[in-house]
Chain A
Amino acid sequence: MDIELKNIHKWFGKVHANDGINLKLPGGTIQGILGENGAGKSTLMKILSGFIQADEGDILLDGKAVKITDPASSLRLGIGMLHQDPLDFPPMKVIDDFLIGQAGGLIPNRKQALQEIMALEQQFGFDIDPETYVDMLTVGERQQLEILRLLWLGAKALILDEPTTGISSSQRIKLFETLRKLAAQGMTVIFVSHKLEEVEGLCQRVAVFRRGQLVGEVKPPYVTSELVKLMFGKAVTLESRVYARSGEAALTLSGLSIEDVRLKISNVSLAAQYGEVIGLAGMEGSGQRQFLRTLGGLMRPVDGKILLGDRDLTGKPYHFFLDLGISYVPAARLEEGLISGLTLTEHFILADQSKGFMIDKNKAQQITKDRISSFTIKGTPASQIEELSGGNQQRALLALCRDPVKLLLLEHPTRGLDIESAIWIWGKLKERCKLSTTIFFISSDLEELLQYSDRILVFFGGKVSQPIESVETSVEQLGQLIGGKGF
């Protein structure tokens, strides 16, 4: 099936997520979609698969204009989407999961469905027991199941969103085999990924997105540096840097290994200095978050040691980390860091760890006024936290950190903020560095990483690069590492 996207525009408030996208996706090809977080590729895929509607533009399938109103109609038109976390039914049996959503009579014909599943499985070399429960399958198997189901329901185009996150390499090989077979059968395969090597190896054409626009369509042979330049843009000239690191190790990690459902990080050793800023780069889901959480005491490592100065923190509960001066600043401000329904003053009272029984209202007012002015928060002590703008919420979140703090861990400190706020926040953070605070931060903004980090760690599928001095690297090198090359 030939898919054509004509002049697609989508706005989310002021953000122009898709800016005039014109893209042809012919049948029988494996099309790669490349771009960093926030480039607009997921928005486009959501439009194609019916989750959201474009504000402007048309979609043509085999030359005919169509209206895709919801996910079900998208599938009816032949477009099947495989989500990163497959939308299946974990507590149910595979055969039942398969049958849900298939149109038909009162009683489903289980025998026939079973036969058809087994035939499909044989065709692609899968090995999934239809009587087993979905939640007993690995992520890779659940993906295979979902692909089979979409095929069974007559999909002519398949969108795969970052499909190789969290699957074993043998499953990945099998997946690629399957995709090649499907393309050979005439299916349109759309492969959305940030992994350069996979895209280069699998796709017959690559479309690169950046900041909402389609910035390039490339055919093989692929030149990695070209792809990286399209994805991340030109290298930036950096401003003068501020050095605050002392040389002495503040935080020592030795042989740290972290595991969760999706990935394993193995054997990371690092000595972070007092006053140093270490940036964690990589696409979302590559392990930076798990790493940062472990440093903050919110996750337990499966192996290795964490030492703050000479105190061993490994395996201790969260409040131990907090009491020793480690502050974790989450990215989901209202879900994890701030409390909707409480005022600014109330937040500061909570963060202040005051002793005593009755609240000292005057002290609270004083602290709040101080913090409001030193963090230039646009709000009054009585403002409800949810009334503040995103930028001011971020400032409030920072203001909640204890002072002094030995280790500051920030998830996306300037996400969604305007340039001024971002610069201001970094000014504040650098001040702390001068007072020997060590900072780790996650960011998707390469410029920010290069500008403010002393060293950078790049994460890719659980693999962690050696620490890179930011003055010695470039957007291009980082881009390659983020895309998985050069580990």
Chain B
Amino acid sequence: MPFLILVGILLVVFIYLFQAGETTQAGLAGAIAGAAPVIFAIMGETITERAGVINLSLNGTILLSAMAGFATSLATNSLVVGFLVGALVGGLVALIVAFSSITLKQSQVAVGFVLTLLCRDLAYFLGNPIMGASGPTVPAVSIPILVNIPVLGTLFFKQDIMTYSSFVLIGLAYFWIFKTRQGLLLQGIGERPAAAYVRGANVNRLRYIYTFIGGALVGIAGPIFSLSVKAGWKGTISGLDGIGWIALSITIFGGWNPLRAALGAYLFALLQWLGLVLQPSLPNIPSQVLQVAPFPLMILTLLLVNIGNAEWVERTLAGMPPQTRKVAARILRAMKTSPPASLGVPFENE
């Protein structure tokens, strides 16, 4: 049923775009491209949190990697270097979080929080000299044949390579987590590390690895901004500040599932774009409402998580006959999203 509703909405949107013309479609295509960095950040954080680690430093990491990626790309006139450096920066910051929490056993929240501020200030300080400079940008590449599909061609197949990568990344992340053997283990580490340990997983080593990979993906999000979406480094007015927090909240809203999170990200991009398009015709609705939308959604998601866990719900469930119980539980399960049970909790072998 919900699937049909979704298809219905998409159909309406498709028809609207078809008659709206090239410019409107291009605008939405731009929104999709703008979502690419958020997608990278969300996929990265989803992987990290699936392993049981919260990396709160996203906001700062993205700023720092955007600046560093742009700076190195400018200096070497190479886009590849820019992205590699961005990934490295992201991975390194994430490693600090991992090291502090896994090995030094300090609070993930504390370290992540300080890092988010530190990376931001480092980005502004070190990036000062290159503010406003123009550097290499990622060129757009149309995919032949596919680009000729009405509406969808302009939206999805007339993008640059990083946007294409973001599409692929969603699929890759989903595939890895849910379809591979290692992915199952990843889920296991985050849910019940003790059980994973018994089955032979080196929990802490895997947590290090996944935190690094997740951080690297987040790190790539930065250069996508500074080399593509909003090319250049503009310091405090770059509009990048806050993207990390949005990514964190969409990760939660996405229920630690790449597909659902991507849906959330594109929904957010759609809302942003709608806000721009509809602004002239509806001046009374403040633009801030749309910009701030992910956050109440995140809070709502978190509330639903805990409603499912509330004692009164459990009691009511326990009192039902087994068949009804199974159906009711299935509904609740579809509604609720549970964070990996061991998220943020350090693991010690006996």
Contacts and interface: CB of A to CB of B under 8 A. Distances in A.
Q: Do A and B bind each other?
A: yes
User: Which of A51, A101, A104, A108 gathers the greatest number of chain B CB atoms within 10 Å?
Assistant: A101
B182 to A, nearest CB: 7
Contact of A87 (B187, B194, B338): B194
A90 B191 CA distance: 8
Nearest to B200: A72
Contact of A100 (B184, B338, B341, B350): B184
B234 interface: no
Nearest to A88: B195
B246 interface: no
Interface stretch (A91-99, A269-277, A329-337, A410-418): A91-99
Contacts of B205: none
A471 interface: no
Contacts of B182: 106
A87 B350 CA distance: 14
A270 to B, nearest CB: 26
Contact of B179 (A46, A100, A107): A107
The A contact surface, by secondary structure, is loop
A51 B179 CA distance: 30
A107 B195 contact: no
A242 interface: no
A136 interface: yes
A409 B18 CA distance: 74
Contact of B196 (A52, A99, A100, A108): A100
Contacts of A106: 180-182
B333 interface: yes
A318 to B, nearest CB: 14
A353 interface: no
Contacts of B198: 71-72, 87, 101
B203 to A, nearest CB: 12
A43 to B, nearest CB: 12
A11 interface: no
Contacts of B326: 132, 136
A221 interface: no
Interface string B256-292: 0000000000000000000000000000000000000
B187 A92 contact: yes
Contacts, number: 66
A368 to B, nearest CB: 32
Interface in B234-265: none
Contacts of B117: none
Contacts of A87: 192, 194-195, 198
B51 interface: no
Given A51-B350, A91-B338, A107 B181 contact: yes
Given A51-B350, A107-B179, A133-B333, A99 B184 contact: yes
A235 to B, nearest CB: 37
A102 interface: yes
Interface of B: 179-182, 184-185, 187-188, 191-192, 194-201, 326, 329, 333, 338, 341, 350
Given A72-B200, A101-B200, 13 more contacts: A87-B194, A89-B188, A90-B341, A91-B341, A92-B188, A100-B196, A101-B185, A101-B201, A106-B181, A108-B184, A132-B326, A133-B333, A136-B329
8 contacts: A70-B200, A71-B199, A87-B195, A87-B198, A96-B187, A101-B196, A132-B326, A136-B326
